[in-house]
Structure 1
Amino acid sequence: MTGTPLATILRLNAARTIDLSRYEEEGNFDRFGYIKDLAENHGADLATVIEIADLLGPEEDFDGLETTIEDAAEGFGFGAIISGVGQ
């Protein structure tokens, strides 16, 4: 398991506003899986990516969230935050 509470996983999946097929196109079967993969693929702390996803809202999963995590991973601002440094 991921160490993420089941309640968080269920909440993230229930908040989904984008058609499930879009997540499946990315190789995931739900919104949580997509967020988890996004974090892993960019070396980001999952809890922090979840917080950012909550802040931006589910409609930004494939735009704002992805861009924010990519930019942060490349060092444009808060890379230490998404990697969990200092937490």
Structure 2
Amino acid sequence: MTDIPLATILRINAARTIPLTRYEEEGNFDRFGYIKDLAENHGADLPAVIEIADLLGPEEDFDGLVTTIEDAAEGFGFGALIVGGA
């Protein structure tokens, strides 16, 4: 697993705009944990998922981010950059 700097984890959690209870509904205690689980559940590269989450913004954590990661896992577009591939 890739080590993510504490400063990045704190930044990701501070950027949260969705109520914390929504992340808890997904079994996570913060935004970073949710993003980490999303990456792991789809076999995606965590730093790449963090980068996409940053680009999309926290408002897209449960919509656009999920769709982007799922599309990548299915091989659409730039999937090899996110999900282990060539």
TM-score norm. by structure 1 comes to 0.93
Task: Report the counterpart of residue 55 of structure 2 in structure 1.
Answer: 55
Is residue 34 of structure 1 aligned with residue 26 of structure 2? no
- Indicate the residue corresponding to 2:18 in structure 1: 18
Q: Does the 8 Å contact 1:48/1:84 carry over to 2?
A: no
Map residues 71-82 of structure 1 onto 2, 5 A cutoff: 71-82=71-82
CA distance in 1, matches of 2:19, 2:77: 31
- Note the aligned Cα RMSD (angstroms): 1.5
Alpha-carbon distance in 2 for matches of 1:43, 1:85: 10
Aligned to 1:5: 5
Sequence identity percentage: 86
Deviations 1:17-69 (A, max 9, x none): 00000000000000000000000000000000000000000000000000000
Counterpart of 1:70 in structure 2 is 70
AA of the residue aligned to 2:76: F
**Maintained 8 Å contact 2:43/2:84:** no
Distance 2:20 2:3 in 1: 23
Gaps of 5+ in 2: none
Count the aligned residue pairs: 86
Instruction: Structure 1 unaligned segments of length 5 or more: list them.
Output: none
